[in-house]
Amino acid sequence: MSDDVIRLLRKAYGDEMETIMNYLTNSVVLDGVRAQEVKEGLRQDATQEEIQHAQMLGERLKQLGARPPASGGFEARQDSLQPPEDPANVLSVIDGVLEAENDAIDTYRSLIEAAEAADDPVTEDLAVEILADEEAHRTEFKSYRREYSDA
């Protein structure tokens, strides 16, 4: 199997796990009446989609004879998704989510290209499926961003 495919699967797995932690933490930390919809969106994504993505990626790594990274091999990169000092600063969380989603979209597009080059249609299909979810999530948070910009 292609080293590129394994590297990108591991990166995507680690990113999904970090996203779960940051979405869940922000869904707890944010305060304010206007924060409720964003908190629910984060909580739902953290507990459903992102966990499912990580499980799918981990299973694919195992099928390819590789292992998903555990906490000892984890490298945190989502600085923009750290909880804000001011728990009412929902906009900073929205912007962090958009940055994380853009990074995820780039990773999955790279994984699609690497899988295609490696003649690995299973990984390619997996990446396409997750890419669609990430693009939908980005669209949701772009709408939150517009609402906050108009307020």
* Residue 76 forms part of a structural domain: no
pLDDT at 149: 76
| Block residue for tokens 């001011």 | 86
pLDDT at 34: 83
Dihedral in degrees, nearest 10, Cα atoms 54, 127, 64, 100: -40
pTM: 0.94
- How many structural domains compose the chain? 1
Q: What is the mean pLDDT of residues 74-86?
A: 93
Q: Judge whether residue 151 has pLDDT over 80.
A: no
Angle at 114 between CA 100 and CA 4, to 5 degrees: 85
pLDDT at 148: 82
The answer to whether the CB of 27 falls within 8 A of the CB of 39 is yes
* Residue 80 forms part of a structural domain: no
- Tokens coding 134: 């990430």
Residue 8, domain CATH? 1.20.1260.10
DSSP classification of residue 93: H
Q: How many Cβ atoms are within 10 Å of 141's Cβ, its own excluded?
A: 21
* Residue 78 forms part of a structural domain: no
Q: Judge whether residue 78 has pLDDT over 80.
A: yes
Torsion sign (Cα): 27, 48, 22, 79: negative
Position 54 confidence tier, pLDDT thresholds 50, 70, 90: very high
Average pLDDT, the chain: 94
